[in-house]
Amino acid sequence: MRFTKGKHSFIVATHTDKHHLHNHIIFNAIDLECDKKFQNFWGSSKALRRLSDLICLENGYSIVEHPQGRSKKYNKWLGENKKRTHRDELREAIDVALMEKPANMDAFLKLLSDAGWETKRGKQLSFRRPGQKRFMRMDTLGEDYSEDALIAIFKGLKSHKPKHNYHGLPRQNERLVLLTNIQAKMQGRGPGYERWSKTYYLKQMAKTVLYMSEHDLDFETLKQKASERTQLNNDLLARINTIDHRLKEISDLKIQIMNYVKTKDVYQEYHKHGNSKKFYAEHEQELAMHQAAKQAFNALGLKKLPTVKSLSAEYEQLLAEKKKLYPEYRRVHEEMQEMLTVRANMEQMLRQDEAMKEQEKHRMTIRG
């Protein structure tokens, strides 16, 4: 309201579901009279941030004292977690086809056709998957995926560097992958991708066995440790959620206490005027705030109001505990995920071993 001077509609959305409370502020560029537009100026976002910091300090909230400057754009921040587009899928298909070391463009196009891609020749090569309405031109995929780049690769003049982790699975130097996930991704991807996936599958099996050896585990001990890590993970998460709930409760209570104190005199005057309708109409907002504060206190069962100072002290104490718990929670969570992945992979490998034994037993029975 201070920034817009009450001339523009706005929304302030507060993220209370994150480990750090923060606001997203959006206001309409067109004013409420619909005849003027906000004139942006150099450093307007900095001015808005400073005003936000000032309001936080006035009300006893923490601020970011040393901002780290410009942040990443949203799509870069998402990284490998962002939603895959049709062009991402085409780059993936090209990467997988190039793994087969095609000798020329015809061999390359044959691999893409086997993988289900339709080709259209023109000034630029274009491709589309079944169900897609439009073809995608190669020159829209980036320099490393242009027709000239491919020709240079076929001639051995350059090597191909995939743009990103195209297959949707962690790289080999990253954490273990569920074998069942690799099997699911093999379906309908073409022979080139299937051959690569089978090799990757075997490597993940080897990494699983290596994990068991490095940690000196048998299967029963692994299951026990995985259960213990899961329980510790859940306990830490439950404590963090409890702290989050209390932090929100304290924030709301502080606001209600301040509203109660600010409107107390108006409420007393209202009773002095014999609950006058005229007085109520003139001070409706203040009286409504006072009544809402009293209802909030009753809902919490408060017989005596705590001081804002004591609530702020409790808030800081809980926030410090939460900051201390988070690194431990992340470490335990990663260990839990790794153990659960190893356990699931071991179960998958044992099932495969049993199936192979049954097949061998069946063959021996037929021969006998």
Which pLDDT tens digit goes with each residue over 13-34?
888 776 677 788 888 989 888 8
Q: What is the pLDDT of residue 232?
A: 93
- Report DSSP letters for 144-184, one per residue: GGSHHHHHHHHTTSS----SS-TTSS--TTS----HHHHHH
Which sequence spans correspond to the domains of the chain?
Answer: 10-63, 85-166, 173-214, 220-354
Which pLDDT tens digit goes with each residue over 217-239?
898 998 999 999 999 999 998 99
Other beta carbons less than 10 A from residue 341's beta carbon: 21
- Report DSSP letters for 209-236, one per residue: HHHHHHTT--HHHHHHHHHHHHHHHHHH
Tell me how long the chain is: 368
**Mean pLDDT of the region 266-284:** 81
Q: Which of 10-14, 114-118, 166-170, 364-368 is predicted least confidently?
A: 166-170
Q: What is the pLDDT of residue 166?
A: 43
Other beta carbons less than 10 A from residue 269's beta carbon: 14
Which pLDDT tens digit goes with each residue over 310-356?
888 999 999 889 888 888 888 898 888 888 888 888 888 888 888 87
- Residue of 189 and 118 predicted with greater confidence: 118
b vs e for 205-219, b when ≥16 Cβ sit within 10 Å of the residue's Cβ?
bebbeebbeeeebee
Q: What is the pLDDT of residue 167?
A: 42
